[in-house]
Chain A
């Protein structure tokens, strides 16, 4: 098994995969417990629009996707704060808007030497050293900001009204969390692709929640599920020549099923 670690491209794949495995459920946890998981898919589609823009303009894909999804998510939060439309309507509006912009721009990028499939479904083995650098920097920043703001994000997640009544800056924390979500999506594109990013943020958390433990324990279990899924998904991808994004997400689903069975058996 260790032979694959002698391969440069697999070492890069594991490095990027493990960063994403740590960041995705850490940020995803706050979306899932607030029943706001759909935001992950919306951000993924906005990232696709960002990638398409990068392909048309020749800009770097990950930073462009990050900027586009951050601008979009701030727009979503602004509209959500006004409370003139239901949150799910706003999220749907941006999801389809992002997809439509992405499709149009990808049409313009046709003929340029690009592999859109890598961004749609992920291809972790094509990760470059530049990708490792940007994923580590953006992912590391998102992870540590989440840890620093952990208690405040928890208080807002459990009960927004009480948190605001106690003087916790709820609007700012929601915006910061949305930006962290956008950053997570941007760094996960190469690993699982925009179509499956939401799964890596959500399913490990859902698996961990089956055990009905506290918030901190749920987070630790979701990290274990995520890391296990990324490692096993990459191994399966390498040995059976399968798409890495799909194998990783199937790993998270297998963990979810096992968690459901074990948690019921232990009651």
Chain B
């Protein structure tokens, strides 16, 4: 990894995003360092997915500045270093005629450019991603015939095929059974241990407190940002989620 461990890989300053008259995200700033595993939590409609889409350059902020890997989120050179796994497979149609292998290979498209061919380096990255996710037996299956857990592994492999420096995930285990969730989180832990910076949006405080190294909690404004202790000690969580804090942190047990 060329990025120094302590340098901010993402810096957000005075970010504001409005939809109509509503402030979806209002004036907040934070930094994320290389190698971190950040859980972005908050109630539904609190701006989590909007923040993720702003970081990915899919939305343009009304005020403020986002710097990722030293550039803007919309810079092509930045985007080629970013991986993204959307909620429940994003907009992939279950009827889409594609094999698992074709889907994973598509994750390398940005790296070899519009007119480029898949070279040895591309092929090695694709095979590495397939092996890391352990999806070799699925390669010739149709993407529409996979279980939720298998599908998320494939989409993670697609993201990893691009050899990202930062991996963004939006509710990655939403709709998965407990075994698939555990498997998926184990994979993320391993990737983070290997140096990958992970930013994962979740409405599940328990999971973030278990899995992430640090947290960003937001409800239109930044409620807290820092180590997981900011969640444990956060008295406002109950108000944010309209649930008891203990229930939020332990509801899976």
Does A167 sit at the interface, judged by CB under 8 A?
yes
Are B76 and A165 within 8 A (Cβ)? no
Q: How far is the CA of A130 from the CA of B221 in the complex (A)?
A: 66
Q: What distance in Å separates the Cβ of A204 from its nearest Cβ neighbour in chain B?
A: 13
Are B109 and A165 within 8 A (Cβ)? no
Contacts of B147 in A (CB 8 A): none
Are A166 and B102 within 8 A (Cβ)? no
Q: How far is the CA of A247 from the CA of B188 in the complex (A)?
A: 56
Are A209 and B95 within 8 A (Cβ)? yes
Are B97 and A213 within 8 A (Cβ)? yes
Given contacts A161-B91, A214-B98, contact A149 B114 (CB under 8 A): yes
Contact of B97 among A148, A162, A215 (CB under 8 A): A215
Q: How far is the CA of A166 from the CA of B109 in the complex (A)?
A: 9
Are B56 and A213 within 8 A (Cβ)? no
Are A165 and B144 within 8 A (Cβ)? no
Contacts of A160 in B (CB 8 A): 91
Contacts of B3 in A (CB 8 A): none
Given contacts A166-B109, A167-B110, A215-B102, contact A33 B96 (CB under 8 A): yes
Q: Which one of A163, A169, A209 has the highest number of Cβ atoms from chain B below 10 Å of its Cβ?
A: A163
Does B80 sit at the interface, judged by CB under 8 A?
yes
Contact with A along B109-147 (1 / 0, CB 8 A): 110101100000000000000000000000010101100
Q: What distance in Å separates the Cβ of A172 from its nearest Cβ neighbour in chain B?
A: 9
Q: How far is the CA of A151 from the CA of B78 in the complex (A)?
A: 21
Q: What distance in Å separates the Cβ of A182 from its nearest Cβ neighbour in chain B?
A: 20
Does B82 sit at the interface, judged by CB under 8 A?
yes
Which B residues between 41 and 60 are near A, CB-CB below 8 angstroms? Answer: 56-58
Are A167 and B93 within 8 A (Cβ)? no
Interface range on chain B: under 10, 10 to 19, 20 to 34, or 35 or more? 35 or more
Contacts of B86 in A (CB 8 A): 159, 161-162
Which B residues between 69 and 96 are near A, CB-CB below 8 angstroms? Answer: 76-80, 82-84, 86, 90-93, 95-96
Are A162 and B93 within 8 A (Cβ)? no
Interface size on A, residues (CB 8 A): 30
Q: What distance in Å separates the Cβ of A185 from its nearest Cβ neighbour in chain B?
A: 23
Q: How far is the CA of A151 from the CA of B98 in the complex (A)?
A: 12
Are B80 and A159 within 8 A (Cβ)? no
Are A166 and B91 within 8 A (Cβ)? no
Q: What distance in Å separates the Cβ of A174 from its nearest Cβ neighbour in chain B?
A: 13
Are A209 and B97 within 8 A (Cβ)? yes
Does B67 sit at the interface, judged by CB under 8 A?
no
Q: How far is the CA of A148 from the CA of B112 in the complex (A)?
A: 13
Q: How far is the CA of A17 from the CA of B95 in the complex (A)?
A: 30
Closest to A29 in B: B97
Does A136 sit at the interface, judged by CB under 8 A?
no
Q: How far is the CA of A89 from the CA of B43 in the complex (A)?
A: 34
Sample of 10 more A-B contacts, CB < 8 Å, known A167-B76, A215-B99: A35-B93, A154-B98, A155-B106, A161-B90, A164-B58, A165-B82, A167-B77, A168-B109, A209-B97, A215-B97
Top-5 shortest CB links A-B: A167-B79, A214-B99, A218-B97, A166-B110, A155-B109
Chain A interface (Cβ < 8 Å from any Cβ of B): 33, 35, 148-149, 151-152, 154-155, 157-169, 208-209, 212-218
Can you list 26 A-B pairs, Cβ within 8 angstroms, ordered by A?
Answer: A35-B93, A149-B114, A149-B115, A151-B106, A155-B106, A158-B96, A158-B98, A158-B103, A158-B106, A159-B91, A161-B58, A161-B86, A165-B56, A165-B79, A166-B83, A166-B110, A167-B76, A167-B77, A167-B80, A168-B110, A208-B97, A214-B97, A214-B98, A214-B99, A214-B140, A218-B97
